[in-house]
Each structure stands twice: as C-alpha cells, then as structure tokens.
C-alpha cells in the first residue's frame, strides 16, 4: 500500500511538467499556430526560473521568471512566424536550438548551486489521511496549478465566447478575419500563453523536481509535450489522461526493473512511447467524427486589408 502511494506520488511529479507545457501548446495549436519550440522555451524557463529563485530566495519569483522567459521566447516566435509570416516549423525548431544554447549561457553561473525546493501542501488532519492524504493534499503548488490550468483552458475553449473565436481562428482564419476578428492578435496572445506555460513547466524542473540547474536538464520533455497534444487530439480531457498515462508508464517501468521482472530494460524504456502510440491508434479507430487537428494548424496567414 505504501509502495503504491509512493508510486502515485512519483507519477504526479513526473507528469506535471508535461501537463503544464502541453496545456499551453494545446491552446496555441487550437488558435492555428504550430510552435515546435516548446523544448527551447522550457529550458529557458528552467534556467531563468532557477536564476530568479536563487537570486531572490523565493520559489514564486522563480516561477514568474520562468514564465516571463518562456513568454519572451514565444514573442520571438510570434514576431517571426506571425509578424513576418515565416514558416512555423522552421521557426519553432530554430527557437528550440536558440533556447538550448541561450539557457546554457544564462545558467552557466548557477550550475552547482542548490535551492530549497517548492514546499508541499500540509494541512493537518487532511494530509495525514493514510494513502490518499498525501496524494490529494500533500503536493506542491505546481501540481494543483497544472490541474487548474487545464480545467481553465477547457472552460475557456468550450464555455466562453473568446474561446470560440480562438478556435475559429484555428479552424478557418480567413472566415474569422472576414468576420472582423484580429486573427494575428489572437494568435499572438495564444502563442504567448503557450510560452508562459512552457516556461513554467521548465521552471518546475529546477524549482520542485530536482532543485538544481544543469544545462539540458529538460532532456526532451518539450518534445513529449508536443506529442501529447497530438495524442489528445487537441482535447483538454484527453490531454490529462495522456500526461498521466505517460508519467505512470515511465515510473512503473523503473519499478518493474527494480523488482527484476526480467524484461529487457531497453524495451521497458520504450514502453511509455509504445503505450502512447497504441492508445493513439485505438483512439483514432474509435473516433466518430469530432475534432481532430485544427484545420488551419501551421498555415501562414497574411491579412489582406
């Protein structure tokens, strides 16, 4: 029982950065913009988040610095891909390369430093409930925030008028434009939201997960977040399932190795990806109409005035 609880706690921690980054990217893509620079924005968030927390001594300041760094990176993307109508795929890839390099430079002075990681919630009485207490009431703020974020994004997309307009931009920017909506301004805001989320997800790593900064510490999590958005078929509910499924398989394969199940570890390491692909295939077979990719995803829009 204790082991199951320990596994759930590890899964929550491992899934949270993926969920935060993927939530931001989901909104961005719903507006019709494909930003492949998630990894670059994340690692910038990690470097600046750690720098902010180390200099100020506050996790909150660190998290904000991470979000600002991610947002600034996304503005570079918006300037190129939306303002100058450059190819989005190429711009996103360039953003990742830029972020990996720049974060190493910014973080260089902080390598080897330590901070106190983000505090975990502790409500006397509730947190002490056996088994579920720690899982439900003993997490750090990032975990609760990640869930609030995805619920917020779901509510925004499906229950508000601006959310409807954003989805309209993603499905048919010409119609949205003809109706008089400022497509580029809406998309820029969506890209900025995605950047802030990616920055926050990156900041989670040095602020809560492993409280130190090392260049390249995101280790490809940005790419996984991107894949999760596709996996979710651009739906917030499925995104939560995907993020936790991926985290769960990642942690369980480590435990299975420790138990000595005897399955080659290389196969175990591939399991999270394999599980994701299998679920993706099942979902696509079971799909009955419904939303797939935003129709205008990744296409360049130049308003004619």
Partner 1 sequence: MRKTLLALAAGLLLAGSVGAASAADKLKVGFIYLGPIGDLGWTYQHELARQALVKELGDKIETTYLENVPEGPDAERAIEQLARAGNKLIFTTSFGYMDPTLKVAKRFPNVHFEHATGYKRNANMSTYSARWYQGRYIQGLIAAKMSKSGVLGYIGSFPIPEVVSGINATILAAQTINPNIKVKIIWANTWFDPGKEADAAKALIDQGADIIMQHTDSPAAMQIASERGKLAFGQDSEMIKFGPKTQLTSILDTWGPYYIARVKAELDGTWKSEDSWGGLDSHMFAMAPYTNMPDDVKKMAEDAQAAITAGKLHPFKCPIVGQDDKPIECKGGDHLDDGQILGMNFYVKGIDDKLPGK
Contact residue for partner 1 among 137, 156, 181, 212 (CB under 8 A): 212
Applying CB under 8 A, does 119 fall inside the site for partner 1? no
Give the residue with the Cβ less far from partner 1, 243 or 297. 243
Give ∠ CA 195-280-253 in degrees, rounded to 5: 85
Applying CB under 8 A, does 221 fall inside the site for partner 1? yes
Contact residue for partner 1 among 157, 250, 275, 297 (CB under 8 A): 250
Helix or strand (DSSP H, E) at 151: helix 141-159
State the Cα–Cα distance between residues 248 and 153, nearest whole angstrom. 23
Structure tokens at 177: 């434009």
Contact (Cβ atoms closer than 8 angstroms) between residue 234 and residue 294:
yes
State the Cα–Cα distance between residues 25 and 228, nearest whole angstrom. 10
Q: Measured from the CB of residue 220, what is the shortest distance to partner 1 in angstroms? A: 8
Contact residue for partner 1 among 83, 84, 90, 114 (CB under 8 A): 114
Applying CB under 8 A, does 304 fall inside the site for partner 1? no
Please give the biggest Cα pair distance in the chain. 66
Applying CB under 8 A, does 107 fall inside the site for partner 1? yes
165, 173, 196 from 180: Cα distances, Å: 11, 11, 27
Contact (Cβ atoms closer than 8 angstroms) between residue 196 and residue 152:
no
Near partner 1 by CB under 8 A, which window of 118-126, 181-189, 195-203, 215-223? 215-223
Applying CB under 8 A, does 254 fall inside the site for partner 1? yes
20, 24, 149, 158, 236 from 152: Cα distances, Å: 12, 11, 5, 10, 10
Q: Measured from the CB of residue 165, what is the shortest distance to partner 1 in angstroms? A: 37
Applying CB under 8 A, does 245 fall inside the site for partner 1? no
Q: Which of residues 187-206 bind partner 1 (CB under 8 A)?
A: 205
Q: Measured from the CB of residue 70, what is the shortest distance to partner 1 in angstroms? A: 18
State the Cα–Cα distance between residues 158 and 14, nearest whole angstrom. 28
Applying CB under 8 A, does 211 fall inside the site for partner 1? yes
Q: Which residues bind partner 1 (CB under 8 A)?
A: 3, 6-7, 10, 14, 17, 100, 104, 107-108, 111-112, 114, 117, 205, 209-212, 214-217, 219-221, 250-251, 254-255, 257-260, 262, 264-266, 268-269
């Amino acid at each position: 029982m204790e082991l199951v609880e320990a596994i759930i706690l590890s899964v929550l921690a491992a899934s949270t950065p993926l969920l935060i980054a993927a939530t931001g990217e989901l909104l961005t893509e719903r507006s019709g913009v494909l930003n492949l620079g998630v990894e670059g924005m994340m690692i910038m968030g990690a470097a600046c988040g750690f720098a902010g927390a180390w200099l100020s001594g506050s996790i909150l300041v660190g998290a904000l610095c991470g979000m600002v760094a991610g947002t600034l990176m996304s503005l570079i993307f918006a300037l190129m891909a939306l303002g100058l109508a450059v190819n989005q795929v190429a711009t996103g890839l360039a953003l990742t390369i830029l972020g990996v390099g720049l974060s190493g430079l910014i973080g260089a002075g902080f390598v080897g430093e330590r901070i106190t990681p983000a505090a975990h919630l502790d409500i006397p009485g509730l947190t002490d409930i056996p088994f579920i207490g720690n899982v439900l009431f003993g997490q750090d703020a990032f975990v609760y925030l990640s869930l609030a974020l995805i619920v917020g994004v779901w509510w925004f997309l499906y229950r508000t008028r601006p959310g409807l307009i954003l989805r309209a931009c993603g499905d048919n920017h010409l119609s949205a434009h003809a109706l008089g909506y400022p497509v580029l301004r809406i998309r820029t805001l969506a890209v900025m939201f995605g950047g802030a989320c990616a920055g926050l997800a990156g900041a989670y790593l040095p602020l809560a997960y492993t409280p130190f900064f090392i260049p390249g510490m995101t280790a490809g999590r940005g790419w996984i977040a991107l894949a999760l958005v596709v996996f979710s078929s651009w739906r917030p509910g499925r995104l939560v399932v995907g993020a936790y499924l991926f985290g769960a398989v990642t942690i369980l394969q480590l435990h299975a190795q420790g138990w000595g199940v005897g399955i080659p570890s290389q196969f175990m390491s591939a399991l999270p990806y394999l599980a994701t692909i299998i679920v993706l295939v099942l979902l696509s077979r079971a799909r009955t109409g419904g939303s797939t990719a935003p129709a205008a995803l990744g296409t360049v829009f130049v308003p004619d005035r």
